[in-house]
Chain A
Amino acid sequence: MTSQLPALQVVVPLVCAAGCVLLRSAFGAWLLFSVAATASLLTAVALTVQVWDGDVIRYEMGGWPAPAGIELVIDQANVVVLLLLGVIAVIAAAYGRRSIELEVPLRRIRMFYAAMCLLLTGLFGITVTGDAFNLFVFLEISSLSSYALIALGRRRRALLAAFQYLVIGTVGGTFLLIGVGLAFAVTGTLNMADLADRLPAVAGNRAVTGAVVFIFVGLAIKMAVFPLHAWLPGAYSEAPSVVSIVLAAVGTKVAIYAFARFAFTVFGIDVVFTDLPIGEAILVVGSLAMLAGAGVACFQQDFKRLLAWSSIGQVGMIVTGIGLATASGVSAAYLHIINHAVIKGALFAAAGILLIRLGSTSLESMAGLGRRMPLTFGAVVIAGLGLIGVPPTAGFASKWALASALVEDDRWLILIVMLASSLLAMVYVGRIVEVGWFRAPADLDERTAENVDQATAAANPGVVRVREQTSVLMAGPVALLAVASVYFGIDASLPSSLADGAARILTGGGAP
């Protein structure tokens, strides 16, 4: 049974998706989604244990040896992402039980869970595959399901955001396909390991350069690297809460992993970072993203939109670590992938609670939150401190790691940019604290009624019904993630060893 785990990682959520469609009850669909999430987490844990010592598991699909067949590859570089996906999926399952009921019309809930299962299928599929074209197929599965899920947001702008994401996301996917095609044209293979074997023979080939550039640009769109980030703020802020949590915590991270996989193990450090100035380009766009993301976040009037812009800055930070192409840089990037997922998961989950309690996520409606909902507000503040990078939060641990990696590589300018972006983070987190703690709340009942009116006026059937109580199933995940964001700051041994293992595989020239 254990030898089948790589395939099960993808197949279980897929079968559950089909099951959700067959079932007649919304509760049953939720149950199936929970089963899929839990099973994926357990599978991911089991796989992590198997590759803990640096082993690589190869699984031949259909019994055909690669490169004729498609193989799945599990190593330390992707179990991190698998674990993260599994944890976020379980959290989404717990959180979604109440939140989806309140945000999505009843008759759509079964299909909603089916789409969530498919999103998981796609994300897991991208992460485990060892075949370049197969990666494209699963990328499109995850993208298609996220377009549909984002479009279900309560306001009509969700539709526009989903459409814009669809267009730009498809262009990105097609760019990836072009890149894979160019690499295929000069090697004749799609298998990542086989590509890595054959590419050195055609080094310096202009088609290989083209392949690297197109794959990089295509994935950069999916990663929302500045200046290709335009789709992200709308998509993250308008999607239903659960979808926001999953996309913000792991959506872009999977694309970052895919890029690292292509850059380090398929094309190799020599081609991507030494022969081509891709590394420098990443450092430039990463720095710009840190400044622009954090800077624009300071001027947002909506909590979720603020968080989305902050994500653009944080993605910039992660890709900067990758762009350094050193073991410590990649390790810092992985560490920040983990920590940022935890922090942003907590914040978007808190935003979902606000939506249900206040009927809106505008900063204005958060006035006086500290006194009215101290626990939620406390979680927001703790996670916010992590975004700034205040010790002893997880954000500090990963920023420290990235700073050391930058110093090691003598990148002082980027270090200054990073510090500046942390200052900007202090500004936007400060605004939330200011509104929530120091500003007096307007009369609650009146404001709530007004917000609901606006939502109704938006002519969307998914009007949020305001609740007086926060369900434990929603508060629990927020608390758990907030606590984890502090815990990973104090005792970073688990995330660090995972990140170090990943960096070893990627930069050590290990087999893809």
Chain B
Amino acid sequence: MTALDVASGVLLLAGSLFAVTGGIGLLRFPDFYTRTHAAGLMDAAGAVLILLGLLLLAPDLGSGVRLLLIAAFLLVTGPTATHALAHAARNDGVRVWAEREDKKR
């Protein structure tokens, strides 16, 4: 086990952790915006960390470059998609959750 393996393992674990918390958040958060936030975290932080972890293990230059490109595209498109979702929801009049409302019900 080299240092590279350890580093990659740590990154993969961190990425998986983000993915799992994102998933839990998606299920447990109370309203649309907070859930979008969880989902956004999943593909920005989770997926990118996993990709970086894999990058450290890349067998050759070609795979490495491809992984980097995928990570770069995910970093651009993920937040954009999250932004678009939230924006569309706001336009559509989806309201932000407030605790008081919840208690009244």
Asked whether any CB of A lies within 8 Å of a CB of B in the complex, the reply is no
Chain B interfacial positions (CB closer than 8 Å to A): none
Chain A interfacial positions (CB closer than 8 Å to B): none
